[in-house]
Amino acid sequence: SQQGEEDPQALSIQEGENATMNCSYKTSINNLQWYRQNSGRGLVHLILIRSNEREKHSGRLRVTLDTSKKSSSLLITASRAADTASYFCATDPLQGAQKLVFGQGTRLTINP
């Protein structure tokens, strides 16, 4: 069953603006990961945040994790047209036995 639920399902912003996507999950986790998928392609790993971390940065990406609320957010700053893609959160459950559980994704469109 799907554990991660992304919000919003779709987001459209102007180039240069910041984009924020949220993910909620249900069970305790080892870590939470974010992936990007360009249209018609496979997923590409972006960033991981462990359950004992609250915030992580990688270039223009900032991820936060609130384990008490079982939620995470992905912020993309100074968006570019090339950031247009679908973004998925994936949880590594404590009892996951080597499996990730993916959400349904947020479709992000950056308008030039």
Partner 1 sequence: DVKVTQSSRYLVKRTGEKVFLECVQDMDHENMFWYRQDPGLGLRLIYFSYDVKMKEKGDIPEGYSVSREKKERFSLILESASTNQTSMYLCASSLLMWTGYQPQHFGDGTRLSIL
Q: Rule CB under 8 A: is residue 97 a binding residue for partner 1? A: yes
Q: Are 78 and 28 in contact (CB under 8 A)?
A: no
Structure tokens at 91: 């949880």
Q: Hey, is 82 helix, strand or coil?
A: helix
Q: Rule CB under 8 A: is residue 2 a binding residue for partner 1? A: yes
**Stretch touching partner 1 by CB under 8 A, among 10-18, 38-46, 60-68, 75-83:** 38-46
Q: Rule CB under 8 A: is residue 44 a binding residue for partner 1? A: yes
Q: Rule CB under 8 A: is residue 95 a binding residue for partner 1? A: no
Cα 46 from chain centre: 8
Q: Rule CB under 8 A: is residue 103 a binding residue for partner 1? A: yes
**Stretch touching partner 1 by CB under 8 A, among 11-19, 33-41, 53-61, 66-74:** 33-41
Q: Hey, is 81 helix, strand or coil?
A: helix
Q: Hey, is 83 helix, strand or coil?
A: helix
Q: Rule CB under 8 A: is residue 88 a binding residue for partner 1? A: yes
> CB burial class (10 A; 0-12, 13-18, 19+) of residue 96?
middle
Q: Rule CB under 8 A: is residue 105 a binding residue for partner 1? A: yes
* Interface residues toward partner 1, by CB under 8 A: 1-2, 31, 33, 40-45, 48, 50, 88, 90, 92, 97-105
